[in-house]
A = this chain, B = another copy of it.
Amino acid sequence: MGMIGGGKDAFIGAIHRIAANMDGLVELVCGSLSINKDIAIDSGRSLFLPEERIYTNYEEMLEKESQLPEGERMDFVTIVTPNFAHFAPAMMALDKGFHVVVEKPITLTLEEALQLKEKLAETGRLLCLTHTYTGYPMVKQAREMIKNGSLGKIKKVFVEYRQGWLSKLLEREGNQGAAWRTDPKKGGKSAVMGDIGTHAFNLAEYISGLQVTQVCADLNTMVEGRQLDDDGSVLLQFNNGARGVLAATQVAAGEENNLTIKVYGENGGLEWHQQEPNTLLLKWLDKPTEVYRAGTGFLTDIAKHNSRTPGGHPEGYLEAFGNIYRNFILTLSAKLNNTSVDGSVIEFPSITEGIRGMAFIDSVVNSNQSSEKWTPYVLANVQ
């Protein structure tokens, strides 16, 4: 595993390294960890990378690694740069024969995502998109229970992602993460949708098994002086006639990372809160609410397969992230060994989710600019 971005000054790089490393299945062997040469070198050293594999730009890394003998060169590269710098290294990595892990949103634009899809088809490589929240065992349990019909036909989906950290104009106070996210050239058309709205959208489609077909969006910039939106609410229509509400805001002062989903069907509903991720509430029309808990024996295979500890030993964000990596790595290993994995329990988000996320951002921005109530989800025919 190699890494592009994620140097000492970057939060998400460390998270990826812990997650990838968690199950002892891979090792970081090289990195181009910053566009700042000094930071790139310092970061590589502090991670005990061999000097010759501490690179200072990704082109060099991809080039040189591709010249190493098989077995020695990295198997895949993880791209954890800001949004605008996902596409180029991903394309080059694929061209050089590497598999790719990439942060969400997959690219800066939908067009890039579509090109990436073609490149994947052309090269036959794997791509893993780190929509972390679908890595939680109770999210997988939720999806599975809806899939197996426990809730009956789905009627309503509520998904809320509330953060408060952008309540002030941090991008003017030297906060790098705030700066690139709220810069349209680096973050994309919508800051709030690119950063957290796509997570909420992905979670809603993943759990419900449905696809959004129409959106009605209201995007707002609540903090004066900000270049991009920091708040958005979207009414949703799904392909089975269900309706939904998606709210994503980064100006909910006092909130940490409050991602919550509730899905209701004919027979009952389910509720999951990312901040207490080991509990899934199942509310029933005809019997008492049930509390499903991670690690217990009462879960579906996919939930069991995606956890490491018994009930009452809480797993968290890093383990969910680790599940994304583990499932990707197991799938990759199988591919490399010409074997296969059980896709019903070992799965990870990839190009389809990436494209759907970019199309969601575009749809929301289109809707926000329109005076029409409903705007079609773009590329409604993309699977």
Contacts and interface: CB of A to CB of B under 8 A. Distances in A.
A277 to B, nearest CB: 6
Contact of A372 (B164, B315, B373): B373
A276 B276 contact: yes
A216 interface: yes
A269 B255 contact: yes
Contacts of A258: 312
A317 B315 contact: yes
A209 interface: no
Interface string A3-23: 000000001001101100111
A266 interface: yes
Interface in A20-55: 21-24, 28, 47-48
A313 B165 CA distance: 13
Given A245-B233, A251-B156, A288-B291, A314 B314 contact: yes
Interface residues of A, number: 86
A189 B28 CA distance: 46
Contacts of A239: none
Nearest to A252: B264
A126 interface: no
Contacts of A251: 155-156, 264
Nearest to A222: B155
A187 interface: no
Contacts of A289: 254, 290-291, 293
A300 interface: no
A1 B318 CA distance: 23
A232 to B, nearest CB: 9
B310 A256 contact: yes
Interface stretch (A93-101, A279-287, A342-350): A279-287
A218 interface: yes
B253 A310 contact: no
A291 B291 contact: yes
A105 interface: no
B243 A245 contact: no
A227 interface: no
- From A155, A158, A254, A308, name the one whose CB has the most chain B CB atoms within 10 angstroms: A254
- From A291, A367, A370, name the one whose CB has the most chain B CB atoms within 10 angstroms: A291
Given A269-B164, A288-B296, A372-B372, A257 B22 contact: no
A287 B276 CA distance: 20
A253 B283 contact: yes
B216 A218 contact: yes
Nearest to A298: B288
Interface in A87-110: none
A314 B276 contact: yes
A115 interface: no
Contacts of A84: none
Contacts of A233: 235, 243, 245
Contact of A285 (B167, B264, B312, B373): B167
Nearest to A244: B233
A184 interface: no
Given A156-B222, A216-B216, A265 B253 contact: yes
Contacts of A235: 216, 218, 233, 235
11 contacts: A18-B22, A156-B252, A163-B312, A167-B285, A245-B245, A253-B264, A257-B312, A287-B290, A288-B290, A372-B372, A372-B373
Given A218-B373, A253-B266, 12 more contacts: A14-B308, A18-B24, A163-B312, A231-B243, A253-B267, A253-B283, A254-B264, A256-B310, A256-B312, A257-B310, A274-B312, A282-B288
